[in-house]
Structures are given as C-alpha cells and as structure tokens.
Structure 1
C-alpha cells in the first residue's frame, strides 16, 4: 500500500502488518467507538490545520471520536496557532494523524517517540500561554513501534529544549490572518499603554495604564475590563520581547485568564500607519471567531 508522503510520512512496517488479518495492534483500547462506519472523505480547504498536511483524503469519524466535519473543524482550528509557532517540524503531522487520519484499512496512530519529540519542543510554547500538554496527547497512549505514523524529519527547532529566545506572545506576526487566528486563541483584546514593567519570579508583569479600550472582549464582560490592570508574560524573565523596549507606545494586547491572572498571549504595536495592521483592525470589527475556549485542548 502506497501512502502519499510530501511530508515524508513513514508507516513503519505497515505493509506486512496490514497483510495479516489477525495482527494484534496492542492498542485497540485507544481507538474510538464509532457510532457509524468510517468513511474516506476529502480534507476540506477550510480545515486549515490539515489541508496542507500532504495527503487529500481522511477518515471520518476520526481518531478523536469526532463524527462530523463541523466538529473536526471546530476543534482542529484551535491548534492552528501552535503549528504557526513552528515549535517542531512534525507538529502538524502529529495533530493531523489524529484529527484527519489518512485513509487506510485500519486505524494507525502516531508513534510514541514522535509524540514525545513534539511534546518536548512545544511544551515551552504552550506553557507561555498558560496551557498544559493535553491528556488527548498523552504520549504513553501511543504505540512504541511496529505500525504507527512517523516522520523522518530530522530538523530540530533552534535552541535547546525548554529555552525560547523570543517570548512566544512577542513574536511579531503582522500578517492579518495570523493576528486574527491569534485573536481567536485569546479571550480578549484591548488597546492600552504600559505604565511599568516588573519581574515576578520567572514572569514579567506588565502594569497597564488606567485608560484602556476594548477591541474584542470575547468571554469577558464590559465591567471586567476595569479589572485588567496587570498582564503577565509567563516565563518571560529571560526571553526577548522587543515590543517592551518602547513602553510609551500604544499596543494591542491579547490575553486570557489562567490561574486567577491575566496572561499576555499577544502584543502588537498599535500602528495605523501600517497598512497590514490597519486592514487587520478593520476586519476585526466584524470578525467572528469559531469559539472562545482553551486553545490547545
């Protein structure tokens, strides 16, 4: 059986295993209890997480028990920002092996080592946004060898594991689509200036000026806007954030609540002279996010 592999997907020992009808996979308990028989369907263009993964057909229901394409799109969309952070070259492969599994005769899960490699590289990014590594990606649930989704990508992210030279919320993505996706990964967006910056253990604490303007409140209520006086840049003590070099400027702050604090998830200079930023603000007025919920569930 030949598998499309522009991303060099490898199914270790796949052909001999699939040729054996009584082959014991050893991880059948991982699979979904399908309410209906799996069907092979086209990956739609608006399933942005997996449309460019390297193959064009997927099984539905998928390996996360999503029975409808609408449910797949809703849940998968939350992961697009993590792929854009490029924390590991195989993040998309890992996620799409579950959200949009390639059409085969039997369910094939990602290899445990692949999950562990992506986890170790991406956890620092996720923690910066206040998210733990989710239980649905508990690597111990996936097979160690034999038949599993792998990749022969040998590239590793720059720097050592656990170290991020630029604070993830400070990555300056001026592309309108990227900013709007980032917005949907956050719970609120406000316009304000920074009054003071302090260190708080391993974090940086941004004390905002009293005057603030709501750009997008998301799940917050208007009266809660007054409570946002401090934003925390999680694990930001030793990473770079060039936006904080000129604290007198107006900024677009995006954030979410976590552990009783307001975490900074994105910061962009408020620059209406920048055509891309101006277009983003125009689109943001009527932009409808699919949902406001934990991004990396």
Structure 2
C-alpha cells in the first residue's frame, strides 16, 4: 500500500484505507472538495469523481486499490483518454527498471480517491526516473516533461513516498542482458513490439561493432523488408542499426551471426535504432503467426513502447 510522507501521514493512511475499501451500489461516490490548482496551474472545470479502475486499464488495474479520482492528476478528464495515455506505459513495467514504477505512474494516471489529490513525492519520481530513463533512452525516448520531478512536492509535504528505496524490482544478473535482446516468446508479445516499431526487417548481420557504449549492427546486403514504415530506399541499402546504452551487456542472439534475424526498430532522425531482435525461425509457430498477422493486430492508437508518452 502506498505510504504517505509528511506530518499528516497518519490521517492520510486512514483516509487511504477507506478509499481502498470496495464501494457499494452502482453510483459513483462524489467528494465535496473545491476545485483547486494542480502543480501545472490548472483548475478543473468540473467536480472530481471517484470511479472504478476499469479492467482494461492494464497499467493500474492491479495497483492495489479499486477506485480512482477522475479527472486524474495528468489532466485527463475522461476515462477513455486516461486509458489511452496509460497504455503507452505498460511496456515499461515489463522492463522492471524499478519496483516503484507502477506506484509512481498510477499515482498520476489513476490517483487513489481521497478528499484531496495526493501527488507522488519528488524523491519517488527521482528514483523511478533514474532507474527507468536509461531504458527509455535506449529506444530513443527522453524522460517526458510532464513527469519532470521538480513539479512534485518535497518529502516533508503530504505526498506518496518511495516504497523500495533505490532497489530495482529484480536485482539484475551481472552482466544484464541488453534490453533490446530480451525476447518475447509469444506471438502476442511480438506483435505488440511490432506495433511499437517503425520497420520490421528479415536480414543477415555482417558484423557487430561496439563503440562508445553502444553496439552497431551492420546488415548484410541481402534482406527482406516486412514493414517499411518511414524508411527510404537509401535506408534499406546499407542498414546500420544502433543499440543504445548497451555498454558491456550481452546479447545472446548475436553470439552466433550465422543465419537470419528478424529485427524491429525505429527511425530517430537519421539513425535507425534497434528495438528488438529475434533469430529467424521459420518453423516457429509463434513467429510465423506474428509475421503473418502483424498488420491486422489491433495496435493501440499510441504505440506501446512509450509512443505518445510525452504528449498532452
């Protein structure tokens, strides 16, 4: 359960316990607070309400409480908008960059219902940012301005504090496998990765160059483009895929460069960033299904791997 920090923490925990209790009846619970400004200076145009966190709000459905405040603390006034924006962050949870990632994000996307909004503490934002920003940067996404930690209250104020300190969700093995090389073994997961990708290519890899904390994959001449996206013809002729923030982490798929690979990536400026890589296995039913139906898969409006995360 989230911990409240500050002199009135005991009162808040009591209110929180009430908020977490299942509501009765079919009607929403309305609170009588006056509209107030949030850190970004906004005043809500209508009275906040307490609603059930829907089952299809994957980011926060199992966060530990059942009801959320709407409008939320990111100015999303409708449930449809809150769900759409929250879906962009689901893949970050799977990366397990910090144990408090869900607590931090859901305190904003699906804030618990109390008699006043309770924001995450600045320290909570900072530990999650420090652990997760490098993962996001590997895919070409900066930590978004809407989550700038300076916006949130200091720890001596009433706010949601760090639960797990500076510990990561799972102590990583040494050395940790590169983020881009953590394979999805099911078709659904692969197709979600494809939704996030600008392009999908079947190709051979000529060589791997390690320099300045990143790996560069030089593609062999023969390749098959399965999803072109924004790529131009010149991009596909001499493809070099960049793996950012890889340092000395291993990528088991690249231990043997014989055979072909299925690579997924994004074009950021003039560079091609690698999002995921799979050994090509033509008899693998999951891979075969994913490639065949990737264009008919119901991708979210905002692509999963943090597409749209910095918007709004």
For normalisation by structure 2, the TM-score amounts to 0.80
SS in 1 for 2:154: coil
Q: Write out the 4+ residue segments of structure 1 that deviate beyond 4 Å after TM superposition.
A: 221-225
- Report the CA distance between 1:249 and its aligned residue: 2.2
Deviations, residues 26-67 of structure 1 (Å, cap 9, x unaligned): 984346432322222222222111112111221221111112
Cα deviation, residue 140, structure 1: 1.4
2:140 is aligned with 1:147: no
- The change in CA–CA distance for 1:73 and 1:212 in structure 2 (over 3 A counts) is farther
Q: CA deviation at 1:222?
A: 6.7
Q: Does 1:49 align with 2:59?
A: yes
Deviation at 1:189, TM superposition (A): 1.9
| Partner residue, 1:3 | none
CA distance in 1, matches of 2:80, 2:221: 41
Instruction: Find the partner of 1:158 among 168, 171, 175.
Output: 171
Among candidates 71, 93, 97, match of residue 61 of structure 1: 71
Shift of 1:200: 3.7
State yes or no: 1:38 paired with 2:48.
Answer: yes
Instruction: String of CA shifts for 1:195-239, please: whole Å, max 9, x gaps.
Output: 222234322111112333333344x26747635611101122411
Equivalent residues in 2 for 1:92-171, closer than 5 Å: 92-145=102-155, 146-153=157-164, 155-156=167-168, 157-158=170-171, 165-171=176-182
Which residues in structure 2 correspond to 1:1-297 (within 5 Å)?
8-12=1-5, 13-16=8-11, 28-30=38-40, 32-145=42-155, 146-153=157-164, 155-156=167-168, 157-158=170-171, 165-218=176-229, 220=230, 223=233, 226=236, 229-291=239-301, 295=307, 296-297=309-310
Distance 2:43 2:256 in 1: 54
Compared CA separation, residues 177 and 57, structure 1 to 2 (3 A): farther
Closer, same or farther: CA 55–129 of 1 in aligned 2, 3 Å: same
Cα–Cα, structure 1 residues 204 and 50, in superposed 2: closer, same or farther, change >3 Å? same
Give yes or no for contact 1:27–1:142 (8 Å, CA) kept in 2: no
Residues matched between the structures, number: 281
Correspondence for 2:31:
none
Q: CA deviation at 1:247?
A: 1.7
Q: 1:29 to 1:230 in 2, by over 3 A?
A: same
Q: 1:205 and 1:87 mapped to 2: Cα distance?
A: 24
Q: CA RMSD in A?
A: 2.7
Maintained 8 Å contact 1:179/1:280: yes
CA shift for structure 1 position 136: 1.3
Are the equivalent residues in 2 in contact too, given 1:63–1:101 (CA < 8 A)? yes
> Which blocks of at least 5 consecutive residues in structure 1 are unaligned?
1-7, 20-25
Query: What is the SS of the residue equivalent to 1:213?
Result: strand
* Cα pair distance change 1:32/1:177, threshold 3 Å: farther
Contact (CA 8 Å) 1:60, 1:66: kept in 2 or not?
yes
Distance 1:240 1:57, change over 3 A: same
